[in-house]
Amino acid sequence: MTSVLPITFFVVCVACGTVFSLPCLTNKSKQDFNKARNALKSLENFLKNQASSINSKVQALDKDMTSMEEDFKRRQWIKYNKHCYYIGDDSVRWTDAERKCREIGGYLVKIDDSSENSWIKQQISKSSKKTYYWMGSTDVVNGDWRWIYDQTQLSYKNFYSGRPFPTSNSNSYTFNCIMMHYGNGLWYDYQCNYVTPYVCESNFCFQ
């Protein structure tokens, strides 16, 4: 009976030690534990950095949008049917006109119907420059005319001859951009390197 007491006392002490202190770990277990703890710490730092980076990007985007809005308001955009239009008075090539429209938050005008066409004709006829104005259509694939804004085909057309040059005409290979005449509102396909004013359109109006 007396030999049992020391053993019992030892077991109780071990049990108490397990409860009131950290469990004994092997060296490998300690290494794995430290790796996991370091990984969590690294993840925490990464998430903090990402949050800071995202916040900076959001602030930069907000600043860009504010700047765009201010620039938009400074220019003489004209509102029509929930869209805004800008009549550029500098004469440039078609590709430069498209770039300029993009830079100010729009695109070269896309005309969807006769009412919009008539309205734009009225606006450019008021301009001091009595000439042609670039529109946002071109045929990258000869004869396949599309709007540069969304790459849709022309559902409405107002060409002076009823249609652009057919592919059988040699001019169709060099006359690849469309412009509108200020006086009659008719469309003409012409060489994209020709320099003339342009009409921009935007889906977002700050007015």
4 pLDDT more than 70 = no
What is d(CA 27, CA 33) in angstroms, rounded to the nearest whole number? 10
Q: What amino acid occupies position 83?
A: H
- pLDDT at residue 68 in the model: 56
**Mean residue pLDDT across the chain:** 83
Residue-level pLDDT at 204: 83
- % of the chain at pLDDT higher than 70: 80
CA-angle at 162, arms to 161 and 164, nearest 5°: 75
What is the rounded average pLDDT of the residues 99-105?
95
Of 191 and 140, more confident:
191
Give the phi and the psi of residue 204 in degrees, each rounded to 5. Answer: -115, 120
pTM of the model: 0.63
What is the C-alpha separation between 143 and 36, in angstroms, rounded? 64
